[in-house]
Amino acid sequence: MTYDDNNIFAKILRGEMPAHKIYEDDETFAFLDIMPRSKGHSLVIPKTPAINMLDVAPDDLCTLIRTVQRLAPVIVEAMGADGFMIQQFNGAPAGQMVFHIHFHIVPRYIDVPLKHAASDMEQEDILATNADKIRTAVETRLK
């Protein structure tokens, strides 16, 4: 399989598709999942093209997971969550739907079950409000 420059996340990186951005640096980009499994479900991607864990350059993977580690507690705090789950799928049989490597940061809330993956499209205004909260926390905690 070769990397498809027209996958959704590549288009988001090029600004050809909208996204509720929550964080960006020179190497990585993070935004809200539009079909969240929980409130504040976020995705972190590298700016370099890579399909999955086997395809990504080790240094890029380190940079990517570093952003995941920095962002996760900020998202948890901003959303008032009780913990978080990290997900990362490799290959369609494993559940990968977008073939640009990404880590899911899924906030968890006591007694709130997870929704199924990519089941319900979230309302735009709710995504905008949540992204705003996380961006504010990022400004305070990460800058």
The residues annotated with a catalytic role in the active site are: 102
Q: By CB under 6 A, tell whether 85 contacts ligand AMP.
A: no
Near ligand AMP by CB under 6 A, which window of 58-66, 78-86, 92-100, 129-137? Answer: 92-100
Q: By CB under 6 A, tell whether 117 contacts ligand AMP.
A: yes
d(CA 87, CA 10): 20
Near ligand AMP by CB under 6 A, which window of 29-37, 50-58, 75-83, 130-138? Answer: 29-37
Q: By CB under 6 A, tell whether 126 contacts ligand AMP.
A: no
Which of 89, 105, 130, 134 forms a contact with ligand AMP (CB under 6 A)? 89
Tokens of 104: 């899911």
Q: Give the chain's radius of gyration (CA, Å).
A: 14
Strand order in the sheet with 83-87: 21-24, 28-32, 42-46, 103-108, 83-87
- Which is nearest to 41 in space by CA: 135, 100, 114, 132? 114
| Nearer residue to ligand AMP within complex by CB, 112 or 140 | 112
- Tell me how many residues contact ligand AMP (CB under 6 A): 14
